[in-house]
């Protein structure tokens, strides 16, 4: 079944500096470059609207980079273009990523006036020494100030990102960060374990033996501590890394996990439309040049076969606490889940990693930490 496209991702690839662990497509650039990028992005948004989008959008997500690093007038231009060329549902979720310290009252007022109703702050830790060693630009006090500013500006749906498994991080240090976070009472929390990504300063230091990462058992203890603390404070864990208060699950990210289609604009952005996944040109100059020549900046397109689509539905859907229901699978693929994946499911259920009932299949909570092993079992069966 062809699922209609109701979501849009917009990539803003600018940061104040590069964090030591980061391999996202982001750059430290001048305002002149940001201005040129904004023009290119607005052109791409109009092109997409003319070709791909028909139905009103339900979710829009501004990711980065640090979208709020753009000067307010440029953010306003992008948001005006969005509203001019796209129909957006009245209760759509419009999220913007931000970093503590990258927001001021002007920026917050403008984005709110243009419909942004959810903010996601990359906090990562409340420990100043830890933040410094990650190459983050903010400190703990900046988090408090930015959070308060966002509340004052009228944002009542805020996510805070936290990281664990960091160099020299102890369970005690993480406990302190979690308790600081809980005092702020955000509506949503995302918690990620550090991964050493190739090409980053962290990868270089790790290879040279200069990074002391917590051992695996300590990392597991950290993850379990976060799960328990957030559950004790009324957050529902609805995905391996995501926790929400009632009514505040990320609707945009659920689109990804349910393997539904989405549009994407911006350098290096990835979209999924009409059974095809596409990737935009990553580097800023060639991305902007393509648009200046009135061309869509698409670098690669991959047609997703029926088998790949079914595999993706399982791999992504099993990240969700709700798992994959038989109904959803059948409606989407026109075939019973058990017919395609019956033996894999039986195998993992036998190992105690999957839970199977009359409605569908889900990862057991005790298996979240080894989720990747299960997901891999659904590929190329
Ligand atoms: S703020 Fe986010 S996107 Fe920017 S460098 Fe740091 S981790 Fe990467």
In the predicted model, is pLDDT for residue 275 greater than 80?
yes
Are 337 and 251 in a shared domain? no
What is the pLDDT at residue 294? 97
In the predicted model, is pLDDT for residue 54 greater than 80?
no
Per-residue confidence band for 381, with pLDDT thresholds at 50, 70 and 90: confident
Which residue has the least CA distance to atom 6 on ligand 1? 19
Report yes or no on 110 lying in a domain.
yes
In the predicted model, is pLDDT for residue 376 greater than 80?
yes
Which residue has the least CA distance to atom 7 on ligand 1? 22
What is the pLDDT at residue 53? 63
Closest ligand 1 atom to Cα of 26: 3
Q: Give residues with Cβ within 8 angstroms of 367, minimum separation 6.
A: 352, 353, 354, 374
Cα 192 to Cα 287: distance, rounded to the nearest angstrom: 30
Are 73 and 185 in a shared domain? yes
Q: Which of 232, 257, 282 is the endpoint of a domain?
A: 257
Are 248 and 335 in a shared domain? no
Are 236 and 370 in a shared domain? no
- The stretch 252-256 carries a mean pLDDT of 98
Mutate to test the pocket of ligand 1, among 66, 163, 267 (most ligand atoms within 8 A of CB): 66
Report yes or no on 310 lying in a domain.
no
- Cβ 27 under 6 angstroms from ligand 1: no
Cα 198 to Cα 195: distance, rounded to the nearest angstrom: 10
What is the pLDDT at residue 189? 98
Per-residue confidence band for 3, with pLDDT thresholds at 50, 70 and 90: confident
Report yes or no on 295 lying in a domain.
no
Report yes or no on 2 lying in a domain.
no
Report yes or no on 306 lying in a domain.
no
Rg (CA), the chain: 21
- What's the pLDDT tens digit per position in 122-178? 999 999 999 999 999 999 999 999 999 999 999 999 999 999 999 999 999 999 999
Please give the C-alpha separations between residue 36 and each of 148, 284, 292, in angstroms, as whole numbers.
32, 10, 10
Inter-residue contact 162 to 181 (CB < 8 Å): yes
What is the pLDDT at residue 52? 82
Which residue has the least CA distance to atom 5 on ligand 1? 18
Total domains present in the chain: 2
Query: What is the chain's mean pLDDT, rounded?
Result: 96
- What's the pLDDT tens digit per position in 215-243? 999 999 999 999 999 999 999 999 999 99
CATH number, residue 158? 3.20.20.70
Q: Give residues with Cβ within 8 angstroms of 232, minimum separation 6.
A: none
Are 64 and 161 in a shared domain? yes
Q: Give residues with Cβ within 8 angstroms of 22, minimum separation 6.
A: 15, 135, 197, 200
In the predicted model, is pLDDT for residue 4 greater than 90?
no
Please give the C-alpha separations between residue 292 and each of 105, 289, 298, in angstroms, as whole numbers.
33, 5, 14
Cα 318 to Cα 313: distance, rounded to the nearest angstrom: 8
- Per the structure, the complete domain to which residue 328 belongs is given by 323-376
Classify 191 as helix, strand or coil. Answer: strand
Report yes or no on 58 lying in a domain.
yes
Are 48 and 124 in a shared domain? yes
- Cβ 26 under 6 angstroms from ligand 1: yes
- What's the pLDDT tens digit per position in 302-350? 999 999 999 999 999 999 999 999 999 999 999 999 999 999 999 999 9
Are 253 and 347 in a shared domain? no
**Cβ burial, residue 206 (10 Å; 0-12/13-18/19+):** middle
Are 98 and 201 in a shared domain? yes
Q: Which of 207, 222, 257 is the endpoint of a domain?
A: 257
What is the pLDDT at residue 176? 97
Are 49 and 195 in a shared domain? yes
What is the pLDDT at residue 188? 98
Report yes or no on 318 lying in a domain.
no
Are 241 and 330 in a shared domain? no
Cα 372 to Cα 353: distance, rounded to the nearest angstrom: 11
Are 202 and 83 in a shared domain? yes
Q: Which of 257, 279, 305 is the endpoint of a domain?
A: 257
Report yes or no on 19 lying in a domain.
yes
Cα 162 to Cα 125: distance, rounded to the nearest angstrom: 6
Are 215 and 132 in a shared domain? yes
Per-residue confidence band for 1, with pLDDT thresholds at 50, 70 and 90: low
């Amino acid at each position: 079944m062809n699922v209609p496209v109701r979501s849009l991702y917009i990539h803003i690839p600018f940061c104040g500096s590069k964090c030591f662990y980061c391999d996202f497509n982001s750059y430290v650039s001048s305002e002149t470059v940001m201005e040129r990028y904004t023009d290119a992005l607005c052109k791409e948004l109009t092109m997409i609207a003319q070709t791909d989008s028909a139905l009103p959008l339900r979710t829009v997500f501004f990711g980065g980079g640090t979208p709020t690093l753009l000067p307010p007038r440029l953010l306003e231009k992008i948001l005006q273009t969005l509203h001019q060329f796209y129909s957006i549902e009245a209760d759509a979720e419009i999220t913007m990523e931000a970093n503590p310290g990258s927001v001021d009252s002007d920026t917050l007022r403008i984005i709110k006036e243009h419909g942004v109703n959810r903010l996601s702050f990359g906090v990562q830790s409340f420990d100043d020494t830890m933040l410094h060693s990650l190459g983050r630009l903010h400190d703990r006090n900046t988090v408090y100030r930015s959070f308060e500013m966002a509340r004052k500006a009228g944002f009542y749906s805020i996510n805070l990102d936290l990281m664990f498994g960091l160099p020299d991080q102890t369970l005690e240090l993480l406990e302190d960060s979690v308790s600081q976070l809980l005092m702020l009472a955000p509506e949503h929390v995302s918690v990620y374990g550090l991964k050493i990504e190739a090409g980053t300063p962290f990868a270089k230091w790790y290879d040279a033996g200069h990074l002391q990462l917590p051992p695996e058992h300590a990392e597991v203890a950290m993850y379990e501590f976060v799960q328990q603390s957030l559950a004790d404070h009324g957050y529902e864990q609805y995905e391996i890394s995501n926790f929400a208060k009632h009514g505040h699950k990320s609707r945009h990210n659920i689109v990804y996990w349910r393997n539904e289609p989405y549009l994407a604009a911006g350098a290096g952005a990835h979209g999924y439309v009409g059974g095809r996944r596409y990737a935009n040109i990553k580097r800023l100059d060639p991305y902007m040049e393509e648009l200046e020549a009135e061309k869509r900046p698409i670098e690669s397109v991959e047609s997703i076969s029926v088998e790949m689509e079914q595999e993706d539905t399982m791999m992504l859907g099993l990240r969700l606490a709700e798992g994959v229901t038989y109904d959803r699978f059948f409606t989407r693929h026109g075939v019973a889940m058990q017919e395609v994946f019956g033996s894999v499911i039986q195998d993992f259920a036998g190992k105690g990693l999957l839970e199977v009932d009359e409605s569908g299949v889900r990862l057991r909570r005790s298996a979240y930490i080894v989720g990747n092993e299960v997901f891999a079992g659904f590929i190329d069966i």
